[in-house]
Structure 1
Amino acid sequence: MARSSAEDMELRRSCVVAIAGNGGKEEEIVLSIRVAKGRGIFEKLGRLAEPRVLAVTTKRSSRSEKIKAFIRVLKYSSGAGLEPAKLYKLKHLTKLEVVANDPSGCTFFMGFDNIRSHSVAPPQWTMRNIDDRNRLLFCILNLCKEILARLPKVVGIDIVELALWAKDNTPVVTTQVTTTEESNQDGATVTVVTEREVQVVSVEKDLLVSHAEEEEEDMESMQSLLGMYLMGIGETEAFSERMKEELLALEATNVYSLLEVEPLVDEVVQGLDSATFCIDDIDEWLQIINVKLRHMREDIASIESRNNTMELLSDNCKGLVAELDRLLNHICIPPEYSTVLTAGSFEEKRMLKHVEACEWLSGALRSLETSNIEPCYANMRAVRERHQELEKLKAVFVKRAMDFLRNYFSTLADFMLNDKNYFAQFRGQLKRPDHSDLRFKCRTYARLLQHLKSLDRSSLIPLRKAYCQSLNLLLRREAREFSNELRSITKTPRNAPAWLEGSISSNDTSMVSEAYSNMLKIFIPLLVDESSFFAHFMCFDGIDNKDDDDDLEIMDPDGNEDKPDTTSSELDALNDALKDLLDGIQEDFYAIIDWAWKVDPLRCISMYGVTERYLSGQKTDAAGFVHKLLDDLRSKIVSQFNKFIEEVCHQIERNERNIRPPIGVLSYMTKFENLASRMEQNIQGQSRDMIDKAYSKLVGAMFATLEKIAETDSKSFDIVLIENYAAFQNSLFELANVVPGLAMFYHLASENYEQACTRLCNFVINIVCLSCYLGIYLFFLSYEFDFFVKFEQIPFQQGLSKADLRKVLKYSLTGIERSFNGMNRKLQKSLSSQELLPSLWDKCKKEFLAKYEAFVEMVLKIYGNEPVTPVAEMKQLLASL
C-alpha cells in the first residue's frame, strides 16, 4: 500500500507555516492530508479537480481553557507554496455524506449549519483512496466525540466497516509482564508479577459499541438455545432425576478432593498462625506509632497557632507600613513644588509648572481634611504641623499670584491706552475694537485663576476689581474715540427741520439714526463678549456660557471641564463687577442720543426701535449690565422724545395768546398731518405705545387750544370750530385710514364738527329768520310746554284760538323767501372757507324743515283741518333757492 500523505512531515511543516502566517500561531495540527476539490466522477466529463490540503487543527482558549477544533482548507499559491483559503469551525459540522454517484467511495461532502444560503453548495472533496478517506473521517469523528460530546450525522458510510478498519490500522501496544523473585523474612521465595499496560485508544464510538453489544447478546441467546437443544430435554421429571444424579456425583468428587488436600490445609493453618503472631506485633507497633503521631499532631497544632499569629502580625505590619507610606506621601512636600510656589516668576513658559504645583497643593490640602483622613491620623502632631505648613505655603503663593496679576492687568490696559496706532484705526473707518490679543494674553493665566479660586476664594475679589478698573479705562476711551469719530464723519443738515415745515423730505436726517445704530452694532456685541469673557475668566459660578466664543476650557481640580451651575447665587456679584467694568461708557451713548435729538428730535422714534430690538435679544445673566444699559438708553430716548412733544405742545398753546379775530383756520390744524407723517416714517416695527401717547398729548393740546381760542369771540365760536375741525379731518383723512391711533382722533374731530354745525344752524335760523319764524315759534311754545292743558282745550285758551292762528300764519309766512336769502348771505359772510358753505346751507334747510314739519303736525293735531302751508310746498320752496 502506498504511503499516505497524512504521514508526510514536510506537508505538515508547510501547513504549520501557512497557518501561523494567517494568525493561527497557537493552533496545533492534528491531521494534514492532500485532497482534490472537484466533482468526483464528474471529472470524467472534462472538469479538472483542484488540488487542496485539508488540515484539522485544535486551539486552546486563553480565557475558558476550552479546546476549539477547526478544519482549514489550504491551496497552492503561484510559488508552489501553501496559503489559507477557507476556515470551517468543527462545532458547526452537522453532516458527513459520501456521494452515492461515485463508485469509488472517495468523494464526500461536509454539511455545516452556518451555511444558510441554498445557492451555496456544501464543500465537496475527493480523496486519493479509501484509507485516506477513512483516516480523515475517523479523525473528525474522534474530535467531535472528545471536544463536542456529540457526533455529526453520517450518511453513506458503513460504521462497522469503519470500526473494523480503525482496529486494523490503529497501533496497539500489548501488556508487558515482568516476573521478579524476592525473599521474605522467613526465607521463602516470593514471585512478584508487574504488569505495565499501555492505553490503547479505542476507535469504536458510542454508536459502534452499542451495535456490537447488541450482536454479542444475540449470539449468547442463540448459543443458550442451541445448548438446550443438544441436551435433548424431553420431560421435566427425567431432567430432574438426571440433575440430582449429577449433583451427588459432584459432591462425592468434592469430598474426595478435600481429603486429598488435607496436608495442604495444615500447611495453610500453620501459615495463618504465624501470620496472626505477626499481626499482633504489628498492632503493638501501630499503637506506639499512634501515640507518637498524637504528640506530633499536638506539636504541629502549637506550631501552626504560633505561625498564624506571626502571619497576622506580619500582615498588620505590612498594612501599617503601607498606610504610613501613603500618609507620608500626603504630608511630604516635594522640593520642586515648594520652590515654584514660594519663588520664581510667573512667566508664560513657567505657567505649566505653576499649574502642576497648584494641583498638587490643592490635592494635598484636600487629602488632609478631616472628611478625607482617618480620625486617628487627623490628631497626629505630624499631620497638624504639615497642614499648617501647607496653609502657609498656600498663603505665600496666593499673595504672590495676586500681586502679579494685579500688575499684569494694569500693564495690559496701559499698553493699549498708550498705543497711538491702536486708536488711529477709528479715524474714518469705525472698526470694532480688537481685544483678541488682550484676551489671548489673559487666557494664559485662566488656569491659574481657577486654582486660586479653589485655594482661596476670597482672593478673586481684589483681582476682579483690579481687572475691571484697568479694562474700564480702555473701554471708555474706545467708546469716546468711536463716538467722536462717528459724529464727525456724519453729515447733517445745517438747519434742523421744524415740525411745522410744509415738506416732509426737505431735510433728510436718517444719517443720525444710522449713526446711533452703528454705535449699538459695534459696541453692544463687544460689551456682551467682554461681560461673558469676564464672567468665565474670573471663575464666576452660575453663569451659562454655552454661546460664548471665548471658551477658556477651564478644568476643575479633578480633570473635568468646569461647567458652572446656572442656579448659583453669584449672579448679583457678577452684575456688581460688570458695573465696575463698564460703568461710565453709557455717557458716550447719551452723547450720541443728545446729538441726534438736536439734529432731528423725531429720529428718537427710529432710535427707540433699534434699542428695543437689541434689548429683546439680550439676556440678563452674564450680560446684565448691557441689558441695563440698553434699558437706560431706551429711557433716555423716551425722555428726549417727550421733551420734544412738550415743546410742540407749548408752541401750540402759545397760539392762544397770539391769535386775534378774524381767526380762520389755525396753522397747526393743517400741518399736524406733516408731523404725524414724519413720525410714522420713523417707526421701524417697534411697539406704538410711545407714538400713540405722543399723538394723544398733541391732539389733546390742539383741541383744547382751539376751544380756548374760539371762546375769545362768542359770535364766531362755532364758525372757528367748524372750519378748524373740517381742516383737521381733510388733512388727516388718508393717514387716519392706515393708522388706528389717528383714526380715533379723526372720529373725535368729526363728532365735534357735527355738534358745532348743529349749533350754528340753530343760531342762524333763530337770528336771521326771526321775521318769518318768530310768530310761529312763539305760538308753538305757548302750548308745547303747557302740561296742564289738554290738546282739545287749547283752542279755547286766550291767544290760542283759530283766529289767532290765522293771524300768526299770515304774518309769519309773508316774505319768507327774502328771509331765506338773508340766512344764506349770513352764512357766506361768517365763513372764511367757502368750501364749507354748501354743506352748512343744506344742514340749515334740513333743520328748518324739521322744525316746520313738527309745527304742522301739531297744528293738524290740535286745530283739525285749519289751512296751513304744506311741508312739501315749503321743501320745494327751499330747494328752488
Structure 2
Amino acid sequence: MTKAAEEELHRASETAVVAAGGGAGQKISLAIRVAKSNSIWGKSGRLGRNMAKPRVLALTTAYPSKGQRTKALLHVLKYSSGGVLEPAKLYKLKHLTKVEVVPNDPTGCTFMLGFDNLGSQSVAPPQWTMRNIDDRNRLLICILNMCKGITGHMPKVVGIDIVEMALWAKENNPKVTNQAKTQDGPVASVMAQSDAKVTVERDLVSQAEEEDMEALLGTYVMGIGEAEAFSERLKRELLALEAANVHALLESEPLIEEVLQGLEATTTCVDDMDEWLRIFNEKLRHMREDIESIESRNNKLEMQSGNDKALIGELDKLLDRLRIPSEFAASLTGGSFDEARMLKNVEACEWLTGAIRNLEVPTLDPCYANMRAVREKKAELEKLKSTFVRRASEFLRSYFASLVDFMISDKSYFSQRGQLKRPDHADLRYKCRTYARLLQHLKSLDKNCLGPLRKAYCHSLNLLLRREAREFANELRASTKASRNPTVWLEASSGPSQTANSTDTSTVSEAYSKMLTIFIPLLVDESSFFAHFMCFEVPALVPPGAPVNGNRYGADVNDPNDDDLGFMDSDGNDIKQNNGSAELGTLNEALQELLDGIQEDFYAVVDWAYKIDPLRCISMHGITERYLSGQKADAAGFVRRLLDDLESRISMQFNRFVDEACHQIERNERSVRQLGALSYIPRFATLATRMEQYIQGQSRDLVDEAYTKLVSIMFGTLEKIAQADPKYADIVLLENYAAFQNSLYDLANVVPTLAKFYHQASESYEQACTRHINMIIYVQFERLFQFARKIEDLMYTITPEEIPFQLGLSKADLRKMLKTSLSGVDRSINAMYKKLQRNLTSEELLPSLWDKCKKEFLDKYESFAQLVAKIYPSETIPSVGEMRDLLASM
C-alpha cells in the first residue's frame, strides 16, 4: 500500500471513529485493511459462511478525563453501500485473552482474536486475513505493545514464534516509524511513532535475554561447522558426566551403610508394634460382638412392649367404632318425625353416616376389613340405614301430599272474583325447610331414595301451581276492561272511520305483563328451591341477591338471607357444590314434571289478548323478550323454554294478523279500477303509526318484518292494478306512490325500515312521472321530436354536412315541420296542461307535475335547437329564451 493510500485510509478511519461517538479524545495508532470470514467450527457442528468481507481494523488510544486510565480500543469498520467507512463493532483490548494463527492457512496470514467478554461463546470468533505476513506482524505487534503498555497484561499467543516476531520488529522498525511528506507539511504515518516503536526491552524479551540468546546461537553456530565432530564431542561430554556421577556415588558408600542400619532397627520396632496392635484388635472384636448381642436383645424387648401398647390402643378405637349408642338406635328404628324430634333424627343420621364411613377401607385400616366383628357391625349398620331411609321416605311422601292438599282445599289461597291473589308459598317452604337437612342426610345414606321423593314433591306441587295459575289467569281476564278492536285494518271495503275509532287496549298488555311479573319469578323461585331442597348438586340459578321485580330468585319472602339449604357434612361444615355436576339433566327433567301444564294458562292469556287487539302482540313480544334476557341460569331450563314458547306463540299470532292484512291488500287487485290513491295506503300509515306506539323502545325485529311483508305486498298489488289498464298505469302509480310518501313522511324520518321503502316509493314516483310527462309531450309535439330523433340517429353514421341532403331531412322539410308543430305553440302547450289536469285525481300533485312537464319540454326543445344550429345553421327557429318566456306565461 502506498503512503498516500495509507494516509487516506487513516483519515477515513478517523472520520468513521468520530462519527461513531469517539470524539476528538481518541487517537488512531494503526488502520489496516483486512478480510473477515466466519470460522468453520462451532458448537453447532455446522459449516459457517466463509465468504470473505472487506473490513478495516483501527487501533485507537482513548484519553479520558483526568484521573481515568487510558483505554486501548479495536474498531471494526465496514464499507457502506456508498463506499464510506462506518463503524461495525468495537472491542476493548483489556478483554483480549488469545491471539491464534489459524493452522489451516499455510501462508500464516489468517488469525483469530479471542475476547473473554463475548455474549455467546458458542459461536466461533471471526477470522481476519491479511494481505501478507508484514501486515499481519505490524497489526499483531501493535496490539501486543498496546496490551502490555496500556492494559498491563499480555494475551496468549498461539501459532506464532515470538522470537521471530521480535526480530522482525527490530528489522522493520525504521520502516514503520517513517513519516510521509506532503505539500501541506508532515503527516503522521499509519502507525504513530510513539506507539509503533518496537523494542525488545519493552515488548517481547528483555535486553539481557536477547544477549544470552545471541550468545547461545553463536556457540551453536560455532559447534556445528562439522556435524560428525560435533556429535563425537557431545558423546564424550556425556560419558564424562556419567563417570562423574558413578564416582560421586562410590564416595558416599559409608553414609549409605549407616542409613541402612538405621532402617533395619526401625523395621524391628515396627514389627513388634504390629503384633501388639493385632492382639488389641482381636480383643476389641470380641467385645464389640458381645455389645451387639446385648443391644439386639434389648431392642426386641422394647419393640414387643411398644407393639403391645399400640395393639391395645387400636383395639380400643375399633371397639369404640363398633359400639352403637342406644339413643341413636332408638331414633333410627322407631322415633317419630315430628318437628320437635327432627334435631334428634338429624344427630342420629350424622352419627350413622360417620359410623358407616369409619368402617370403610379408606378410613379403616385394610387389615381390619375382613375381621368377623367388623363384617357383622357393617351388616347391622346397613340394616339400620335401610330401615331409617324407608321410614323417612314414607313420611316425606305423605307429608308433601298433605301440605298441598291443605292449601288446595282452602280457597283463600287463590284468586277470586274481584280479587287477584298473588301466590304465596312462604309457609309451604318454611314447613318443607324443616326437613331439608334430613333430605341431605338421606342422600348421603342412599342416593337412590331421592328419586321417588322428588317425583312425589313434583306431583303434589304441580297441582298447586296449575291451580294458582288457572285461577289467576281467569280472574285477570275477567277483571280487565278493554273493547275489542276490529282485525280488518287494510280492507278496501271498510269505511274511513274504521281506524280512527280504535280504542285504548293498553290494559291487555298490562294484564299479560302482570301475569309474567307474578309467575315468572315464582317459577324461578320454585325451581331454585326445588334444586336445593332436593339436594341437586348444581350451581345457583341466579347470583345471590339478584333482584327480579323486587324479589330475589330462590329467596324466602320472610327471611331471604337464611334458607338453611346449604350442604353440610357430619361435622356441620358446608360442602362445596360441584358446578360441573352431571345432575343438571336430571334436574331439568324433574322441573319439567314440576311445572308442566302451567304454560296452558299463559297461552290462554296470549290468545285472549290477540282477540281483543292483535297489535298488542308487539307489546307482549317486547315484554317477553325482556324477561327472557334475564333468564341466564342453566338450571331454570323450564322457565326459559316457557318464555321461548310464549315468544313463538306471540310471533305466530302476530304473523297471522299480518297474513290477514296482506290478504286484504291483495283483494284490491280483483276489485274494479279505483281513481286516486288506493284505500290501503293511508290505512297502512295509520296502522304503522299505532304499531310504532306499541313498540316503545323494544326490539324492532317483529315489527320490521311485518313492515317488509306488508309494503312488499302493497307495492306488488299496486303494480298489478296499474298494469290492468296500461293507458292510466303511470297515473295510478305516481298518485299512489305520492300518497305513500305523504302519509309516511314523519315515520320514515325515525324508522329505518320505513325510510328504505319511502326512498323506493320516491324512485318509483319519479319514474312514473317521467314516463307520463314524456307521453303528454310527444302527443302534442310528436313530429318535432321525431325529426330531432332522425337527425340524432344519422349522426352516428354520416357527417352533419350530409344530413340536409337526406330524404325527409332537407331544409324544406325542416321549414314544413316547424310550421306544422310550432304554429300555435301556445295552444299546444295549453293542451298539454289540460290533458295533465284531466287525468289527475289528486289536485295537489298538479303544480309539481306541470313544473316537471315544462322543464322536460324545455330541455328537449333546447336539444332540438342545438341540433338545428349545427345541421341547418342558416335556418332560424324560435329561440330557447322565447320558449322559456312563453312557458312562464302559461
TM-score, normalisation: structure 1? 0.63
Q: CA deviation at 1:544?
A: 2.1
User: 1:615 maps to what in 2?
Assistant: 628
**Does structure 2 retain, via aligned residues, the 8 Å contact 1:656–1:709?**
yes
SS of 1:785's partner is: helix
Residue 585 of structure 2, aligned match among 561, 569, 572: 572
Counterparts of 1:761 and 1:648, CA distance in 2 = 34
- Higher Cα Rg: structure 1 or 2? 1
The alignment status of 1:368 with 2:381, answered yes or no, reads no
Q: 1:494 to 1:774 in 2, by over 3 A?
A: closer
Residue 700 of structure 1, aligned match among 681, 697, 712: 712
Q: 1:737 to 1:302 in 2, by over 3 A?
A: closer
AA in 2 matched with 1:757: C
Counterparts of 2:427 and 2:575, CA distance in 1 = 24
Counterparts of 2:619 and 2:416, CA distance in 1 = 25
SS of 1:716's partner is: helix
Residue 835 of structure 2, aligned match among 813, 817, 826: 826
The alignment status of 1:441 with 2:447, answered yes or no, reads no
The alignment status of 1:838 with 2:850, answered yes or no, reads no
Counterparts of 2:674 and 2:612, CA distance in 1 = 36
Counterparts of 1:347 and 1:337, CA distance in 2 = 16
User: 1:87 maps to what in 2?
Assistant: none
Counterparts of 1:537 and 1:386, CA distance in 2 = 32
Q: CA deviation at 1:692?
A: 0.9
Q: Which moved more, 1:431-440 or 1:494-503?
A: 494-503
The alignment status of 1:558 with 2:571, answered yes or no, reads yes
User: 2:483 maps to what in 1?
Assistant: 493
AA in 2 matched with 1:859: V
User: 2:389 maps to what in 1?
Assistant: 398
1:779-826 deviation line (CA, Å, top 9, x unaligned) = 223232233222221122222222222222222211222211211111
AA in 2 matched with 1:413: V
AA in 2 matched with 1:538: M
Counterparts of 2:741 and 2:293, CA distance in 1 = 125
Counterparts of 1:866 and 1:305, CA distance in 2 = 149
The alignment status of 1:453 with 2:443, answered yes or no, reads yes
**Does structure 1 retain, via aligned residues, the 8 Å contact 2:499–2:683?**
no
Q: CA deviation at 1:306?
A: 8.1
User: 1:872 maps to what in 2?
Assistant: 881
How do residues 768-847 of structure 1 correspond to structure 2 at under 5 angstroms? 769=780, 773-786=781-794, 787-847=796-856
How do residues 443-522 of structure 1 correspond to structure 2 at under 5 angstroms? 443-494=433-484, 496=486, 499=489, 506-522=502-518
Q: Which moved more, 1:432-441 or 1:310-319?
A: 310-319
Counterparts of 2:500 and 2:426, CA distance in 1 = 46
SS of 2:483's partner is: coil
How do residues 182-261 of structure 1 correspond to structure 2 at under 5 angstroms? none
Q: CA deviation at 1:312?
A: 4.7
1:760-787 deviation line (CA, Å, top 9, x unaligned) = 00111122x0xxx233223223232233
**Does structure 1 retain, via aligned residues, the 8 Å contact 2:737–2:764?**
yes
AA in 2 matched with 1:783: I
**Does structure 1 retain, via aligned residues, the 8 Å contact 2:485–2:613?**
no
User: 1:531 maps to what in 2?
Assistant: 527
User: 1:680 maps to what in 2?
Assistant: 692
**Does structure 2 retain, via aligned residues, the 8 Å contact 1:605–1:682?**
yes
The alignment status of 1:756 with 2:768, answered yes or no, reads yes
Counterparts of 2:820 and 2:304, CA distance in 1 = 149
1:273-328 deviation line (CA, Å, top 9, x unaligned) = xxxxxxxxxxxxxxxxxxxxxxxxxx999999988766654443332122112112
1:405-460 deviation line (CA, Å, top 9, x unaligned) = 1121111111111122322x544332311111111110111011000111111221
**Does structure 2 retain, via aligned residues, the 8 Å contact 1:601–1:644?**
yes
SS of 2:695's partner is: coil
Q: 1:556 to 1:663 in 2, by over 3 A?
A: farther
1:206-249 deviation line (CA, Å, top 9, x unaligned) = xxxxxxxxxxxxxxxxxxxxxxxxxxxxxxxxxxxxxxxxxxxx
The alignment status of 1:652 with 2:652, answered yes or no, reads no
Counterparts of 2:844 and 2:517, CA distance in 1 = 53
**Does structure 2 retain, via aligned residues, the 8 Å contact 1:544–1:565?**
no
AA in 2 matched with 1:536: H
**Does structure 2 retain, via aligned residues, the 8 Å contact 1:719–1:760?**
yes
SS of 1:428's partner is: coil
Counterparts of 1:556 and 1:863, CA distance in 2 = 113
Q: 1:376 to 1:662 in 2, by over 3 A?
A: closer
Residue 319 of structure 1, aligned match among 290, 307, 310: 310
User: 1:733 maps to what in 2?
Assistant: 745
Counterparts of 1:398 and 1:333, CA distance in 2 = 18
**Does structure 2 retain, via aligned residues, the 8 Å contact 1:502–1:674?**
no
How do residues 587-606 of structure 1 correspond to structure 2 at under 5 angstroms? 587-606=600-619
AA in 2 matched with 1:829: R
User: 1:633 maps to what in 2?
Assistant: 646
Q: CA deviation at 1:552?
A: 1.9
Higher relative contact order (CA 8 A, sep 6+): 2
Counterparts of 1:549 and 1:640, CA distance in 2 = 35
User: 1:851 maps to what in 2?
Assistant: 860
Q: CA deviation at 1:401?
A: 1.6
AA in 2 matched with 1:531: S
SS of 1:371's partner is: coil
Q: CA deviation at 1:841?
A: 1.3
**Does structure 1 retain, via aligned residues, the 8 Å contact 2:744–2:758?**
yes
Q: CA deviation at 1:549?
A: 2.3
SS of 1:661's partner is: coil
SS of 1:738's partner is: coil
User: 1:99 maps to what in 2?
Assistant: none
**Does structure 2 retain, via aligned residues, the 8 Å contact 1:543–1:571?**
no
Counterparts of 2:526 and 2:411, CA distance in 1 = 22
Q: 1:803 to 1:368 in 2, by over 3 A?
A: same
Matched pairs, number: 578
Q: CA deviation at 1:542?
A: 2.3
User: 1:723 maps to what in 2?
Assistant: 735
Counterparts of 1:740 and 1:521, CA distance in 2 = 32
Counterparts of 2:743 and 2:756, CA distance in 1 = 15
Counterparts of 2:810 and 2:501, CA distance in 1 = 73
AA in 2 matched with 1:322: G
Q: CA deviation at 1:616?
A: 1.5
AA in 1 matched with 2:443: K
- In structure 2, runs of 5+ residues without a counterpart are 1-289, 491-496, 546-553, 557-562
Counterparts of 1:573 and 1:315, CA distance in 2 = 55
